[in-house]
Amino acid sequence: MKKIALTLLVASVGLMAADGAALYKKCQSCHGAKAEKKALNKSQVIAGWDAAKTEASLKGYKDGTYGGPMKGLMKGQVASLSDADMQAIADKIGK
């Protein structure tokens, strides 16, 4: 019985959607509460980017195929994010 309950718990956690607003809090100190700032005065302002562009850039930072002066810093910031996390953050920024 415990194994079934644990399996159901794990399955339900896997189905929960990532919370983009909660995940974005980590980004606010550099990008601003509404993504309106140039991070460390070096990046582009990401407010107004559509979700697809933001998600692609986050994935690119993670795999090392995207980025300018902030590439090294951002690779570390996104390293622990799942694809669902990146999509949720992108959706939050795109709204």
Let me know if 35 is exposed, middle or buried by CB neighbors in 10 A (0-12, 13-18, 19+): buried
Let me know if 68 is exposed, middle or buried by CB neighbors in 10 A (0-12, 13-18, 19+): exposed
| pLDDT for residue 6 is more than 90 | no
Residue 10 located in a structural domain: no
Number of domains composing the chain: 1
Residue 38 located in a structural domain: yes
Residue 41 located in a structural domain: yes
| pLDDT for residue 68 is more than 80 | yes
Report pTM: 0.80
The residue range of the domain holding 66 is 18-94
pLDDT-derived band at 3, boundaries 50, 70, 90: low
What is the CATH number for 79? 1.10.760.10
Q: What is the pLDDT of residue 12?
A: 46
Q: Which residue has the higher pLDDT, 70 or 87?
A: 87
